[in-house]
């Protein structure tokens, strides 16, 4: 369970990272929209796990690897934006947020189940 302090700091990081990706995301991933879906911060606020969602990309693992390759540069830009709000700038690790893919997969399963039920109801 995250403390209020962690949640508040994660919210600040999410906002600032979203602004960075909105302005300069095209430099890392041209023609790809990057959304920060979730930020988890360690209890000492030194490490942040950032979950990303991508639009207009065929290979999400390559996209997240590209963003991770630029993590130091992104951290520097983040530091210049939050330097008055935080004592330390957390180390950033980026991950793919596959929640949407999971939801779509589950929707397909439920649709198949309801279709199978209708077929068996009509037969019986």
Domain of 59 in residue numbering reads as 4-98
Q: What is the largest distance, in Å, between two alpha-carbon atoms of the chain?
A: 70
Q: How far apart are CA 66 and CA 77, in angstroms?
A: 17
Phi, psi of 39 (to 5 degrees): -130, 130
Each residue of 12-43: pLDDT tens digit?
999 999 999 999 888 888 888 899 999 999 99
How high is the pLDDT of residue 124? 60
- Gap between the Cα atoms of 61 and 94, Å rounded: 11
CATH of the domain at 73: 3.30.300.20
* pLDDT at 52 > cutoff 90: yes
Q: State the total domains in the chain.
A: 1
Q: Taking all residues of the chain, what is their mean pLDDT, rounded to a whole number?
A: 90
Asked whether residue 107 is assigned to any structural domain, the reply reads: no
Per 3-state DSSP, the chain is made up of helix, strand and coil in percentages (nearest 5) of 60, 20, 25
Higher pLDDT pick, 55 / 14: 14
């Amino acid at each position: 369970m995250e403390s209020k302090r962690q949640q508040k700091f994660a919210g600040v990081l999410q906002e600032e990272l979203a602004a960075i990706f909105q302005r300069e995301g095209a430099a890392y991933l041209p023609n790809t929209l990057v959304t920060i879906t979730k930020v988890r911060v360690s209890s000492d606020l030194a490490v942040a796990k950032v979950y990303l969602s991508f639009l207009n990309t065929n290979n999400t693992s390559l996209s997240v690897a590209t963003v991770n390759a630029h993590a130091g540069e992104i951290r520097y830009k983040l530091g210049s934006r939050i330097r008055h709000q935080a004592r330390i700038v957390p180390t950033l690790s980026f991950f793919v947020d596959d929640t949407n893919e999971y939801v779509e997969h589950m929707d397909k399963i439920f649709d198949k189940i309801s279709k199978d039920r209708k077929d068996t109801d009509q037969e019986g």
